[in-house]
Each structure stands twice: as C-alpha cells, then as structure tokens.
Structure 1
Amino acid sequence: MIPPNFYSQTVPKMRYCFPALPSPLNSKTKGPLLLHLRSFTIFSPPPYATHLPQSAANPAADAAFRLHSCSDPSLLAQIHALVLRRNLLCLPFHWNSLMRCYLRLSMPAAAFLLFIHMFRAGATPDRYSLPIALKAAFTSFAFSIGRQLHSVAVKCGLSCHEFSESGLISVYAKAGEFAPAQQLFDENPNRKLGSWNALISSYTQAGLCIDAIHLFAALRRGGELLPDEMTMASIASACGSLGDIRLAEQIHRHSMHTSSSGHLDVMLSNSLIDMYAKCGRTDLACNMFDEMPHRNVSSWTAIIMGLATHGNAWRAMELFRRMDVTPNHVTMVAVLCACAHGGMVEEGMAHFEEIVEGRVKGVEATPAHYGCVADMLGKLGWVHEAAEIVERMPWPASAVVWGALLGACEKHGEVRIGEKAAAKLLELEPWNDGVYVVLSNIYAGAGLWLEVERVRRLMRNSSSGKIPGYSLPDVTVSMGGVNWLC
C-alpha cells in the first residue's frame, strides 16, 4: 500500500538516487517509479547510484558486464539504479539480466516482482524471461504463481518452448502435482531433452524412482535424443535409491558412452559415487573417487557419507583429514555420522562444538548436526547427554531425532527420558503405532508391568494401525536390446 504523501514527500528525496526522474511526475512515470521501490533499489537518500564508474562508450555492454559479475546484493541495487537511469530497460535482454542476477543472489521474490513490472512497463517477455520467472516461483515455493505463469506461457506462445516447458514441469512436480506435469510433457510431441531431464529429475527427487527409470527407458527407446550428463546424473540418483547394483553397473557403462570427451564431468561422477555407495559397493565408489581428476566438495561429501553409512568410519575420517577443499554443512553431517557409526565420541563432539561455535568457515549448525550428535551419544549409552543435546536445539526436534532418542532409551533401559521422547514423538506422528510398542518394551525391561498393560490398552483404543510394509519386485525394462532391471 502506497502512503498518500508518497509522491509529494518521498519523490523529491529519491531524485538524489535517480536524477533522471522527470518533473512533474505523470502517470506514465509512476509505474517505473514503483518498480524501483518494489525491486529494493531505494534504501536511503544518499546518491550511492551515482558513485559507480560509468562507461560512456557502450552503456548496454557495461551494464551487462556489471550484472554478470555482481556478487553483492547492495551492489546489485546500485547497478539496478544505474540501468534505470540510463534507460536501458527497453529490451527484454536487460530485464532478463536483472532478474537472473536477483535470482542468482537468492532473491527470488525481487526477481519475480521485476517480471511483473516488466509486463506493466509494456515490455514483452521473450523465451528467456518466463523460465527465470518460473525458477523464481518454485525457488520460493510459490506454486500457485507457477500455475498462473502457465497461462501466461500459453498466451505468449511459449508453453512448448524447451526452457519454458521444463520450468513448468518442475513447478508442477515441486508442488506434488505430477498429473499436470506428465500431461504437459505428453502433449508436446516435439519435446526436447530439457523436458525429459526435468521430468526424470522431478520423479527422482520425489522418490518415484521406478517412474524415473521407465521414463529413461522411453527416452532410450525413442532413439531421437541422446541422454546427456544431466540425464545420467538424475538416473544414477534414482538407481541409488533403488539399491540395484546390476542396474548401477549398466548406468555406469552407459555414462561412459554418453560423455563426449571420454571423461565424466564432476557432477556425474559424484552421482555415480553416491549410487555405488547406496548400493552397498563402497569399493566401486572409492575406485570412482580415486579416478576423478578433479573433485569438489560434493565429491568428498559423497564418499565420506558412503563410507560412514556402511561402517567404514575410520576410512571416512581419514579422507576428511585429507580433504583439500572447504567443507560445507552437508560434509559436516557426514563427518558426524562417521563418528556416530565408529563410536568416536570425543572427535565427534569436538567437531560439533566447532560447528556450534562458528569455527568451521561457512557452516552453521542445523537440526541435522544436532540429530547426528544425539544419535551418536544415544548409541553409546550416554542417554542423558543425548537428551541434553536435544534440549539445546534452537529448533523443535523432528520425529527422526525423537525416534533415535527413544530407540536409545529402549536399548539402555532409560524409562523417564523414554516417556518424554515417546510423548513428543506421538505429538508429531500420532498415527505411528511403533511408539507404543517401543514404550511398552521399555516398561517391560524395567519390570513395570502395570505400565505395560496401560500402554497396550492405549494402543488398542487409539486409531493408529500397523504401518504396512512393502517390497519392490524386479521390473525388467527392455531398452535397446539390453535388460535394465529396476
């Protein structure tokens, strides 16, 4: 809501930042003025925008270079003001550059507001504008806006363009609406590889790994498009979730054929390491890691987590000490998991204190770090210390954390903390009948038979039922004469 005295009192101050604003302000210039305001380019009266050095030779190229190299939100505000002052927003290219820069600096709301003002300013979005707006929508989880952008794409004739179509598929899939995503994919007979990749990746991220494998099989059977590194990285993640080593080996072989240079890129290599580790073949994951000519933080994180998960904690910690890149918060989760699996309490607590005290560059404590430490302490019988860690969490503990603490109480016969963990877990998952079973076992271990009977009576009277289990049968997918098993 714009205050009544906005144009009379605020505009004169804003002329320090935007000396090119016309006077008097008319209805045509109020729209761009609101754009400046809504796009966060106006913070205070000081004329910081005029402090940027300017190149008179080619203003458009100068602005494009500044936007491409910008890495600071406050500097972006100055560049935005400079672009407006030079009247460079007559072409969609400069709108796109601004939106892309806001999105790159984790400001999706500003990017989307800029897209709205692009419409209001009379500039027609091109085939690059809509994908940026779509990415801003699903980055900020504004899925209802994504559906509105679908109608914009249809009106502008951009719904079948590769970038727009893949963006729309991603928006629908992120919202859990796979039916319209699949329909959008099916309705375009001339779909490009980007659309295939978007749907395969969406299925994989949603845990619908068999659907992702089947879609990949359809891509191979078509024969018109060849999978790229992005396709293979997504399908490797799907295979890792299924844990099928036979399929994993075939995916690895096909990845080698996919690479144009004969060498796998870092992203695909990381996916293959993670795939082999999840399939239980840490030896193949280590071979893959050792053969990589270049590694990034994700490479180290994948191998450390894989080794830790399968009980090779000492090897995982040895690799962490050899790590030649700065770890991120996921790496530190992997390190704490390794300490938990290896019983290395002192080293694990030392790393945890470093994280909490901010001594690990760029890493802030997250619920995952607290959960790993609570699990580590609980496994070794330090249940009271584990409960203290959970109480210290700046956030409400998740069901996973309370479940780990409850399991530790069952193992080590801790009644009081077990009662509290069970109560918290039932608040989060009232349908989970397993909580009653574990609590009953805790009481039985302590010889509290009246409490055992009470819990069993509560379980009978509750609406919870046994969570059904399921198994995944092998499904043979024939693809190019090769049997792909999923």
Structure 2
Amino acid sequence: MYSPHSLFSRHPNTPKPNPSSLILPLFNQIQTQTPSPECHYNRATALATQLESCAGPSELAPIHAYVLRRHLLLAPFHWNALMRSYLRHARPLRALLLFAQMSSSGATPDSYSLPIALKAASQTFSLSSGRQLHTATVKLGLEFNEFCESGLISIYAKTGEFESALKMFDQNPQRKLGSWNAIIGGLAQGGRLAEAIDMFIKLRRASLVPDDVTMVSVASACGGLGDLNLAQQVHKCVLQAQNLGRLDVMVCNSLVDMYSKCGRTDLAYQVFRRVTPKNVATWTAMIMGLATHGKVGPALEFFKAMREEGVKPNHVTMVGVLCACAHGGRIEEGMRYLNGMAREWGVEPTVAHYGCVADMLGKVGRLAEARTVVENMPVAANAVVWGTLLGASEKHGDAEVGEWAAGKLLELEPWNDGVYVVLSNIYAGKGMWGEVERLRRLMRKRRVAKTPGYSLAAMSA
C-alpha cells in the first residue's frame, strides 16, 4: 500500500550564498574608522540592518561587545535588531538579558521591543520574566497591542498558567488572529486538547479566517484526541485555505501527523504524496506514524527513501526508526542505527533513542544486553527507560534486572506504588514468596498504599 518511491522527482539543492559573510567586512570597516558625530547614528543603523539579515551566532558576541563599547545602541531600532538576531539563532536568554540592558540604559522599549522580549521569555519558559514584561506593557500602554497581547497569552499558556492566559485573552473583545493562535496553540501544547478545539470553533463563529499557524495547532489537538471525524473536518478547512493560496508544507506535515495519530496511516500517506517539496519533518511524520502502528517494513522503507532523496534524518526521525526496529524485533538493524547515527547523520543519541533500544532488547528477552546498554549510555536514564526495563523483566521473569530497574525507578518516583506491584508480580512468578513478603513490609514502612497482588493458588502450588 505504501511506496515512497516514484512519488516525486529529485530537486537538486542549489547552493545559496551565505549572507553572513557580508557582515564581517562591514564590521571590520566600522571598527577601523573613527566615525564623526554626524555619521555615528547612520553607521549604527547600517550595522543593525546587517545584523538583522546576516549575522551568524558566532559573530553576534563580538559585534554585541563592540556596539556596547562604542555606544552604537542609540535607539530602540538598534536594540531590537540585536535582540532579534539572538532570537533567530536560538539564544533567547541573551535576548532577554539584552532587553534588561536596554531598560537599565534609560532607553524606552517600543512596540517592537516588547514582543521580541516576550517571545524570548516564551522560549525560555520563564514565567517570572513574562510577569515582569506584562507589567512593562501595562506601564507603556501596550497591553492591547496585538503582538504584545499574543505574546503574553503565549507565555502564560506555555508555562501552564492557563487561567492567566484565558483572562488575558478574554479581556479584549477586539482581539486579532494572533491572540486566537496563541491561546489555541497554548492549549494544544499544554494537553488541553478539547478546549483548543472549542476555541477554534469560537474563532470560526467569530467569522475570522484561520491561517497556517491556526491549522497546525488544531491538527495537533485533533491528533492528540484521536478523533477521525474531527480530523477530516480540519482537513476540509485546510483545503479551503489552500484555495486561497495559504497552504504550506508545515500544515501538510501536521495533517500527516494528525492522521497517523488517529490510526489512519493510509490517509496520512495520501497527504504525504502531495507534499512538495518534502522536508525532514514530512518524512519523519510518516515514519513515526507507521512505526507507532507497527508497520515496520513500510516505516523502514520510507527511511531508506528519505536518505536516497538526500534528506538528513534528525533526532525525532531516529526515534521513529528505532521504534520500528523495536516493534519488528530487528535487533541487529536497530543496534546498527544506534551506533552509527552520530557518525553518519550527525545525530547524537539521546535518552529517547537509548530507551527505544532498551525496549527493543527487552521485548525479545535480551535483558542482560538491555542492562548493558543502559549502564553504558552517556546520558542519565529517565523514568521511561527504567519503567521499560521493569515491564520487560516482568514479562520475561527476570528478577535480577527487575530489582535493579525497580530500585532506580523508585529513586526517581518514590511515590509510584505501581513499581512495588510489578516487582511483587515478578517475585511471585518466580515463587520467591519471602521476597514478596519483604516487599509488603517495605511498603508498610514507606506508607505506600497499594497492596501487591499475587495468586494464592500459585503460593500453595
């Protein structure tokens, strides 16, 4: 049913000139000249303009130091350009610190400065920064500025302050689409999926036209709910948007992911076929969907086709690939991917990848090997990894690895009564009734409520 081949023609990547190469000559020229007062502002503006479009992350630090030393941050525009550069290169904390410098220097933030700072606070999930910025927007009379308003809603939602986000949203009846997108996206990302869908319905009733950002969030919420009927209605809305020329690859990728999560990988594939050009997210959504539903062969075929098209996998892609190997019992292939992903594609294995491998080995009873992988991985195991090993130990009756995994899991989650239950089941399955009783005493001592269950028939056997 699924064939990734012959769906598309190759699109050779034409090398583009690197615009960041333009910034250093300008920067060096400015450093070697002594600007007269009348051209000081113009040079500051020229440098800020170049920063806006050209500077790479390694170039920002010396330029930042230079403009501070030469007092070239003369107006909000100059501060904003540097803050935007930090944000563009995934340095949100530096952008926030720069905003603090701007405020302490006596410069007054404008209607562009605050949205940039709010976006930085949102990316760092800093609620305290968000509250301070909220105060600043009120003082400057910018609370109902559409970009400030959506930024505040976004940061409150992303930090779990949903009541504050909803209050911010409700207080402006003239809210723009950006605020709707912020609340819908925040609710969807925060797991309040039904509320996100309800908010989308209200948006439509308000006669507003959703954009790509809206549809990505709504598709994500539909996928999380697993509601196929709703998913198809969302797809219809997307097709209506396509007639207006507003559909992009990001939206298509979200539809692939949505249908996959609803269990309809066939519909996901239909969308996938029509995406042009396909990026790493497109391929990854399809691979993850197939792998999650146990379609091992197609998932690995898509991974092969992806590489043949010259698209490099990312860390999420490799989670999907290893998940497929785990489902299909493809141990050697999975180990080969784990050991070669950093060398071949520059993807350093994370705890998620090692967790997939532990699951892969655990499913087939190779628990000693799974333990070796977990003991030797360069990152700390999390509760998911320990829980995976514990579950595999119960399935295969391995008391030694089960004890080890249970101990590690209880260090992270001492309140988790399920750990005691599973470990007790392992002991009972091996006829280790003394250990079952010892575990019961330990639970009483630690005041763990649930009593481990075991078979009385097995005890008397």
Query: Which sections of structure 2, spanning at least 5 residues, go unmatched?
Result: 1-25, 452-461
Q: Output the amino acid matched with 1:213.
A: I
Alignment match of 1:296 (pick from 253, 261, 279): 279
1:417 lines up with 2:401 in the alignment: yes
1:222 lines up with 2:206 in the alignment: yes
Alpha-carbon distance change, 263 to 97 in structure 1, aligned in 2, over 3 angstroms: closer
Q: Output the amino acid matched with 2:399.
A: V
Q: Check whether the contact 1:209–1:238 (CA below 8 A) recurs between aligned residues.
A: yes
Alpha-carbon distance change, 78 to 430 in structure 1, aligned in 2, over 3 angstroms: closer
Aligned-partner SS, 2:343: coil
Q: Check whether the contact 1:71–1:105 (CA below 8 A) recurs between aligned residues.
A: no
Q: Quote the Cα distance in structure 1 between the aligned partners of 2:104 and 2:252.
A: 45
Match of 1:332 in 2: 318
What is the number of residues matched between the two proteins? 418
Q: Quote the Cα distance in structure 1 between the aligned partners of 2:76 and 2:86.
A: 15
**Per-residue displacement from partner, 1:52-109 (whole Å, max 9, x unpaired)?**
6999996466424421333533322343356557765332222111100012222222
Q: Check whether the contact 2:52–2:84 (CA below 8 A) recurs between aligned residues.
A: no
Aligned-partner SS, 1:141: coil
Q: Check whether the contact 1:108–1:137 (CA below 8 A) recurs between aligned residues.
A: yes
Query: What TM-score do you get using the length of structure 2 for normalisation?
Result: 0.85
Q: Report how far residue 334 of structure 1 moved.
A: 1.1
Q: Quote the Cα distance in structure 2 between the aligned partners of 1:242 and 1:444.
A: 38
Q: How does 1:218-257 map to 2 (within 5 A)?
A: 218-223=202-207, 225-257=208-240
Alpha-carbon distance change, 248 to 460 in structure 1, aligned in 2, over 3 angstroms: farther
Query: Which sections of structure 1, spanning at least 5 residues, go unmatched?
Result: 1-47, 468-486
Runs of 4+ residues over 6 Å off in structure 1: 52-58
**Per-residue displacement from partner, 1:277-332 (whole Å, max 9, x unpaired)?**
01100100111111112111111111000000001111111111111211111111
Match of 1:127 in 2: 111
Q: Quote the Cα distance in structure 2 between the aligned partners of 1:119 and 1:461.
A: 55
1:373 lines up with 2:357 in the alignment: yes
Alpha-carbon distance change, 52 to 105 in structure 1, aligned in 2, over 3 angstroms: farther
Q: How does 1:158-169 map to 2 (within 5 A)?
A: 158-169=142-153
Q: Report how far residue 148 of structure 1 moved.
A: 0.8
Q: Check whether the contact 2:219–2:234 (CA below 8 A) recurs between aligned residues.
A: yes
Q: Output the amino acid matched with 2:430.
A: A
Match of 2:131 in 1: 147
Q: Output the amino acid matched with 2:302.
A: L
Q: Quote the Cα distance in structure 2 between the aligned partners of 1:89 and 1:151.
A: 24
Aligned-partner SS, 1:259: helix
Alignment match of 2:257 (pick from 274, 279, 295): 274
Aligned-partner SS, 2:131: helix
Q: Check whether the contact 2:44–2:73 (CA below 8 A) recurs between aligned residues.
A: no
Aligned-partner SS, 1:359: helix
Q: Quote the Cα distance in structure 1 between the aligned partners of 2:381 and 2:265.
A: 31
Q: Output the amino acid matched with 1:255.
A: V
Q: How does 1:423-434 map to 2 (within 5 A)?
A: 423-434=407-418
Q: Check whether the contact 2:327–2:360 (CA below 8 A) recurs between aligned residues.
A: yes
Q: Check whether the contact 2:263–2:293 (CA below 8 A) recurs between aligned residues.
A: yes
**Per-residue displacement from partner, 1:175-210 (whole Å, max 9, x unpaired)?**
211111111111111111111111111111111101
Q: Quote the Cα distance in structure 2 between the aligned partners of 1:460 and 1:193.
A: 55
Match of 1:341 in 2: 327
Q: Check whether the contact 2:374–2:381 (CA below 8 A) recurs between aligned residues.
A: yes
Percent of residue pairs identical: 60
Query: What TM-score do you get using the length of structure 1 for normalisation?
Result: 0.81
Q: Output the amino acid matched with 1:303.
A: M
Alpha-carbon distance change, 370 to 145 in structure 1, aligned in 2, over 3 angstroms: same
Match of 2:384 in 1: 400
Q: Quote the Cα distance in structure 1 between the aligned partners of 2:104 and 2:387.
A: 52
Alpha-carbon distance change, 81 to 285 in structure 1, aligned in 2, over 3 angstroms: same
1:90 lines up with 2:74 in the alignment: yes
* Greater helix fraction, Structure 1 or Structure 2: 2
Match of 1:318 in 2: 301
**Per-residue displacement from partner, 1:424-445 (whole Å, max 9, x unpaired)?**
1122222222212211221122
Q: Report how far residue 401 of structure 1 moved.
A: 0.4
Alpha-carbon distance change, 153 to 115 in structure 1, aligned in 2, over 3 angstroms: same
The answer to which of 419-428 and 196-205 deviates more is 419-428
Match of 2:10 in 1: none
Q: Quote the Cα distance in structure 2 between the aligned partners of 1:63 and 1:71.
A: 10
Q: How does 1:353-364 map to 2 (within 5 A)?
A: 353-355=339-341, 358-364=342-348
Q: How does 1:382-393 map to 2 (within 5 A)?
A: 382-393=366-377
Q: Report how far residue 460 of structure 1 moved.
A: 5.6
